[in-house]
Amino acid sequence: MTDSRWQRFRHFIGFPASGHHAGEQLVATLGGAIGILLIVVVTQAVVGREGVLVIVPSIGASAVLIFAAPHSPFAQPWAVLAGHVLSALAGHVLSALVGVACWQLIPNPTLAAGLAVGLAIGVMHLTRCLHPPGGATALAAVIGGATVHKLGYRYALSPIAINTVIILAVGVAFNYAFAWRRYPASLMRYRHTPEHPGTGWPRIDERHVVAAMEHLNVVVDVSPDEMGELIHQTLDIAQREQDARLPEVRLGRFYCNDRPGQQWSVRQIVDERRSDNPEFDLVIYKVVDGNGLNRTGSCTRTEFARWVGSELQPRTRKP
């Protein structure tokens, strides 16, 4: 298989172009292990060893989100709590109650299983708390066997609500030690990189990201704030890469912007102000031809280089 075909195949199956750093992988692994260890101990004490085999898998899926993707909208406390519960105790009630109701009211287990998951998805959509493991919680209420069925609606509170509170508490405490993965996402504080002047890109904030997502009608597995930070960093990296290829502009030289019509202009650098930080170097220029003739101005050396289209050589007079 050629490289291009391999790349198309990877794109088709959704294979990620990049992975997490080794440190991030280790943190997620440790967090998930600690969270589930506590869950198993509590669940086993409440419903016995047999019940653990059914209930823990759905919480295990929540642990993957909370510790491997802590900033995902699916992993936020409201999604985790309301996605699994529907009660003032903020537990896993939503999906759990739907599952128990289907088992008690619909005798056919196959039909009940499908309806439990389908209704859980619908309710989670309506209450804006999509949490994929919630479907497993609803399904477990139907196919969980005598141990789970005996619990009835208590299943939503104990062990589901208790398990959820534990996994959320571990997620908040464990992730807080790492500034780049604070949980929930509302605890993150991004310091946006200042825009490079002259790029033509307007300032992007959370409102713009939300509006774009609504316009495209897509669900993105990161928060709007984090998506905004990603866009800022992407633009910054692209701008720095472009700046690395800018021409070197020097005192006394003539430069043209190579723009058509009335925008065409030629400038000469007549003075400069050096700084300890090259990003703050200033150049003073004079417009010697075209738009703004005889006007003088100043800007950073980088801004001037972005304006430049080509360097001109002055004509030498014949004797």
pLDDT at 272: 92
pLDDT at 244: 81
In this prediction, residue 255 has a pLDDT band, given cuts at 50, 70 and 90, of: very high
Residue with more model confidence, 212 or 202: 212
Query: For residue 231, with 0-12 CB atoms within 10 Å meaning exposed, 13-18 middle and 19 or more buried, which class applies?
Result: middle
pTM score: 0.63
Q: Return the bridge partners of 311, or none.
A: 255
CB-based contacts of 123, cutoff 8 Å, min separation 6: 86, 94, 95, 98
Q: pLDDT (tens digit, 9 = 90+) per residue, 230-247?
A: 787 778 888 788 888 888
What proportion of the chain, given as a percentage, has pLDDT over 70? 82
* 310-312 vs 254-256, strand pairing mode: antiparallel
Q: Average pLDDT over the chain, rounded to whole?
A: 79
pLDDT at 104: 67
**If DSSP codes are grouped into helix, strand and coil, which group holds residue 270?**
strand
Q: What φ, ψ does residue 92 adopt, rounded to 5°?
A: -90, 40
Residue with more model confidence, 313 or 267: 267
Give residue limits of the domains in the chain. 19-181, 190-243, 254-312
- Residue type for position 91: G
DSSP 73: G
Q: What angle do CA 81, 227, 173 make, to 5 degrees?
A: 40
Residue 264: pLDDT above 70?
A: yes
Residue 127: pLDDT above 90?
A: no
Task: Starting at the earlier edge strand, list the strands of the sheet with 296-300.
Answer: 296-300, 282-290, 265-273, 254-256, 310-312
In this prediction, residue 53 has a pLDDT band, given cuts at 50, 70 and 90, of: low
pLDDT at 274: 87
pLDDT at 92: 34
pLDDT at 163: 85
Identify whether 224 is preceded by a cis peptide bond (ω within 30 of 0): no
Q: Which of 8, 189, 164, 153 is nearest to 76 (CA)?
A: 164
Q: pLDDT (tens digit, 9 = 90+) per residue, 298-315?
A: 999 989 999 999 998 877
Query: CA-CA distance, 204 to 40, in Å (whole number)?
Result: 44
pLDDT at 62: 92
Q: pLDDT (tens digit, 9 = 90+) per residue, 148-200?
A: 777 777 777 777 888 888 999 999 999 999 888 889 988 887 665 555 444 55
